[in-house]
Structure 1
Amino acid sequence: MTYSQICYDVIRAVATITLNRPERLNAWTPTMAAEFRQAMEQANNDPQVRAIIVTGAGKGFCSGVDMNALDGMTSSGKTPSKSFTPLDPAAREDFQHPMTWLPSVGKPIIAAVNGAAAGLGLALLLFCDLRFASSNAAFVTSFSRRGLIAEHGTSWMLTRLVGHSRALDLMFSSRRVDGDEAYRIGLADRVCAPERLLDEAREYAENLAANVSPRSTRIMKRQLWDALFVDLATSMQEADEEMRESLKSADFKEGVAHFLEKRTAKFVGG
């Protein structure tokens, strides 16, 4: 499959999707959006892929929507119309919209934030499952400095990661947050030296690919994202149902067998 604004590769069961407009700090365009979605579908549908890394080429992760695209928006406040087909029609309606569809991907997604992540670029990484940040990364909401508002579920997800008042601070001020602060406030799960960022993200993803059940990660991912919307009793009921199914699965049998036989696991995802 040929892409013009992203790069896609698979090494040792890990797919890496690289936003690839480095001369524009990987500013988001309609073409990039379509290719990113297509690459995610490719990774999601490939049984050989067990985990996904998202990063940016050059010095930026994603600097937000390309300003040329912003120029095309009308003064009436309407953005160009676009259709959207959910990646997983069985996913919650909450996860069937631009950016918020990432939790419906059935594999772990790790954002390797190598540089500037602003505006829509920030929204993108918020809906990944984990965020590894370079120490020289820069997280910026940007919206207040463009006369805009928190888009694509950013207000909902940012609050859950960093807390209400910190989210308001980041939204109101549009100030720059570096990798170290992002880690301290919960916006990043790990901070890495710039030269080690991709290596550490790959090591983590390859460990998932080699040593854990893809069936388990798929179901646990859905459980944890769905748990943001349900009460404890509902979560417990769903967990009991999923546990009964897990005990009948091939991956459970393999999980017990490889432990008892003291060998490397050979999970099949079923």
Structure 2
Amino acid sequence: MTYETLNYIVDDAIATIILNRPQRMNALTKIMEAELRSAVEAAGRDENIRAIILTGAGRAFCAGMDMDELEVLPPEDIQAEQWMRPYDMNRRADYQTRYSYFPAAPKPVISAINGAAAGLGLIMALYSDFRIASDKAVFATAFAKRGLIAEHGIAWMLPRIIGHANATDLLLTSRKIDATEALSMGLVNRVVSADLLMDTARQLARQLSDEVSPRSVRTMKKQLWEAPFQSLGESVTQANTEMVMSLQSEDFKEGIAHFVERRPARFTGC
């Protein structure tokens, strides 16, 4: 696929999406925003893809909204229907809004955070399933310093990841934190040296692609993202229903077979 503001690369079963406006620290424009959603949705639909990596070109992951566009952004744009459409009716509408559509993708999304992740860049990382940070990465909510508020569900998401006290700190002060502090808060899964970032992300993507059932990953991702809306009883009921279907799946048969036969798995996702 060809895009104006990002690169979309498929290698074996891994789709790598690279935000490609390095001269602007990969700040989001409306074009990039539309292209990013298109790329994530395309990877989600592609049966040959089993994992998605998101990263940035140059020294930044994503520095937030491009200031030239933010300055003239019409207030009503935030609720424009084009940004809020669902694309998969089997996924909660909560996760198909303007920047929360990553959870609706049936493939795991890995954010490889190579540099600054601020504002909307931080939001994209939070909605990913894995966050691997370079030791050069820095993080900031930035909204309070722009006279804005906690946008796009970050007030719901951030406390669930790093706790209420840390979320309050980052949102109200808008202070920058480095990768070490982000790791201590639980904001990222791991921190690696800059030269190992993409290799580490690809190693994780390769593990998700080769070693585990894509059907299991798809179902468990849905369970994890829906659990905050459920009671324990509802979660158990959903799990019981899914368990019956998994026991009848081809991937379950293969999961037993490759273990008994002591060979690499050949999961199909069915």
Give your verdict on TM over 0.5.
yes
The alpha carbon displacement at 1:202 in A equals 0.4
The list of structure 1 runs, each at least 4 consecutive aligned residues, that deviate by more than 2 angstroms after superposition, is 77-82
In 2, are the aligned partners of 1:19 and 1:55 still within 8 Å (CA)?
A: yes
The one-letter amino acid paired with 1:136 is K
Q: Distance in 1 between matches of 2:174 and 2:77?
A: 22
- Match of 1:150, as an amino acid? A
Cross-structure match for 1:170 = 170
Asked if the contact 1:87–1:105 (Cα under 8 Å) also holds between the matched residues in 2, the reply is no
Q: Deviations over 1:73-119 (max 9, x none)?
A: 34xx4436352321312211211211111101001000000000111
Distance 1:153 1:251 in 2: 35
Letter in 2 for 1:214: P
Q: What is the DSSP-based 3-state SS (H/G/I as helix, E as strand, rest coil) of the residue aligned with 1:262?
A: coil
Structure 1 match to 2:40? 40
Conserved in 2, the CA contact under 8 Å of 1:214 and 1:267? yes
Give deviations 1:122-170, integer Å, cap 9, x for gaps: 1111100110001110111000000000100111111101100110000
Which runs of structure 2 are paired with 1:1-270 in the superposition (5 Å)? 1-74=1-74, 77-79=75-77, 81-83=80-82, 84-270=84-270
CA distance in 1, matches of 2:203, 2:159: 29
Bigger shift: residues 77-86 or 132-141: 77-86
Q: Which runs of 5+ in 2 are unaligned?
A: none
Give the counterpart letter for 2:19 in structure 1: L
Paired amino acid for 2:104? S
Q: CA RMSD in A?
A: 1.1
Provide the C-alpha distance between the structure 2 equivalents of 1:206 and 1:253, rounded to a whole number of angstroms. 22
Q: Could you tell me which amino acid in structure 2 is paired with residue 117 of structure 1?
A: A
Tell me, in whole angstroms, the C-alpha distance in 1 between the residues paired with 2:232 and 2:69: 43
Q: Give, in whole Å, the separation in 2 of the partners of 1:110 and 1:24.
A: 23
Q: Distance in 1 between matches of 2:24 and 2:73?
A: 20
1:125 maps to amino acid: A
Q: Secondary structure at the match of 1:172?
A: helix
* C-alpha contact 1:109 1:130 (8 A) present in aligned 2: yes
TM-score (norm 2): 0.97
1:10 & 1:186 partners in 2: Cα distance? 30
Q: Which has the higher helix share?
A: 2
Structure 1: runs of 5+ lacking an equivalent: none
Q: Which amino acid aligns with 2:165?
A: S
Q: Residue 189 of structure 1: CA displacement? A: 0.4
Rounded Cα–Cα distance in structure 1 between residues aligned with 2:182 and 2:209:
27
d(CA) in 2 for partners of 1:228 and 1:130? Answer: 18
Task: Provide the C-alpha distance between the structure 1 equivalents of 2:59 and 2:92, rounded to a whole number of angstroms.
Answer: 35
Asked if the contact 1:12–1:206 (Cα under 8 Å) also holds between the matched residues in 2, the reply is: no
SS of equivalent to 2:77 = coil
2:218 partner letter: R
> Between the two proteins, what is the percent identity of the paired residues?
50
For residue 111 of structure 2, give the secondary structure of its aligned residue in structure 1.
strand
